[in-house]
Chains A and B, each alone.
Chain A
Amino acid sequence: MEVTFRIRRFNPEIPGKNKPYWQEFTLKDVEETDRVLELLHRIKWEQDGTLTLRRACAHGICGSDAMRINGVNRLACKVLVKEFPEGKKIQVEPILGLPVLKDLVVDMEPFFAHYRQVMPYLINDSPLPANGRERLQSPEDREKFDDTTKCILCACCTTSCPSFWANGEYVGPAAIVQAHRFIFDTRDEALKERLDVLSEPNGVWRCRTIYNCTPACPRDIQVTRAIGEVKLAIQRGKREGIVVDPPKHSGQGMG
């Protein structure tokens, strides 16, 4: 079949292209199982080498190719053409809320700065087990933060969040997901410090439970639920008794 893409372009170096504009490309011989990423590659490799995007693994694990496809944040490598009505144009634009550098490439630095704010690393200064072996953790305790360990930092959630669009200082859903992963890890000892960071004005309370983040997540993380659990942990000042029935691995992707 034939598919037409409508792509948001921007090239800061070329007069006439240094303001955002739309450009259409038509591809022939498209299979319905082709992924949007493959087709963007075909445009780049066959028609216009200047088309610029990020990508790496091409199967939804590296988190490079977050973009807005028909108005929804997706990973281009996880979207198959058959999702869309035949004959309709597929619209592709950069994710919102981060400065656009060129075509579909945005400046990720503000996103990673928020990530770093929540101290995204295990803090545990207690002596290690004397037998030289692993710290113990029950399968039940491990399960409590399983969902948020799946995060690939693609920014689909944060850049779908109206609160983040309105205020770029808000740490955003992805940073809270990362914090959740440590807050509910029984091995971590910096609960108070993390909860302090997240109860700042630009922390977790900027979330208005709009729920855009959860369907945007290409890893099916229950993002809004995780944010809610962090809010509860702040209110109660502890991690115990909050995650009672953790989300099961669903494995069911959006596309």
Chain B
Amino acid sequence: MSISRRKFLGWMGGASLVAAGARKAHAAANRSFEGYAGSLAVLHDITRCIGCRRCEAGCNAVNELPQPEKPFDDLTVLEKRRRTSAPAYTVVNRFAPAGDGQPPVFVKKQCNHCLEPACASACFVKAFTKTPQGAVIYNPNVCVGCRYCMIACPFEIPAYEYDKALDPRVTKCTLCHPRILEGKLPGCVEACPTEALVFGPRDELIRMARDRMRAHPGRYLDHIYGEHEMGGTSWLYLSGQPFETLGMREDLGTAPAGQLTSGALGAVPMVVGLWPVLLTGIWAITQRKEKIAAHEQAQAVAAARAETEAQAEVRLKTALEKAAKENAAAVAREVKKALETAKTAPQGESDTEKKS
């Protein structure tokens, strides 16, 4: 269900934009990113965990975290399901498997150090980095404290120092990155008494997990949690119980976080490139329409005026013609009258008539 959804990345309505968005995702999908060769990881064999909380104590010590209210050998803490928090980068939870008489199952929870971290993808100041050694580390010196990383993390790991007024940090497991650089084991792995935690190159740990599955038929489910989840993680889990019953989500899919956002990010430059073209075009068309409308109006006014003028001219002309005709008629009438009087009148009068 969710895979097909993620494959579908063309989110803009316009056909060209869909094509552009899809091509971007394709470009990213076409290039396969294998991650850093030989990067380190931890294999957590849940079937070996006895819930002693020594890993929690080890983590607390090496990271110099504040002492919890109840000491680490107090196992009553396990009665309540816990999550990671500002003072605890890792917690162990107890789960009761279905069926009577089954022994409880213990699962350690901490940052899974994704190969393609959602927190890093979501962070707008690059506070998170996937190191070549495998750890996802956090830089408090640039963090603004927007907490989008906590929203984005599918494993619900990052915590926040809500009680700090001016310098709160996001906190999470560092895979003991400074210790790794020194060639030491992560604090939790070192503290584990049952080898439920194994530290080593990720490729080798996956091989080791498969070997264990083969060596102990029936002990494990055929699923290495973290091999593909959200693009793969640097913590890998083996279990005899369905992961879903152990508070680990199996519906996360295999698409890394970056692929979920690449469609929307790919549309950003398309909007910048095409919106000004479209909007200026619409503006120019409305301008042109207005100009034509104004022009047509002016023309209509001129035409109307010309027509009125022409009509007036015609009227004037006919009036003049009429007047001229009337004039001529009057003249003729007068001439006729004069001639008639001239016939009856003496010669002298006729001379006067001629002069006029």
The reply to whether chain A is a binding partner of chain B is: no
Residues of A within 8 A of B (CB): none
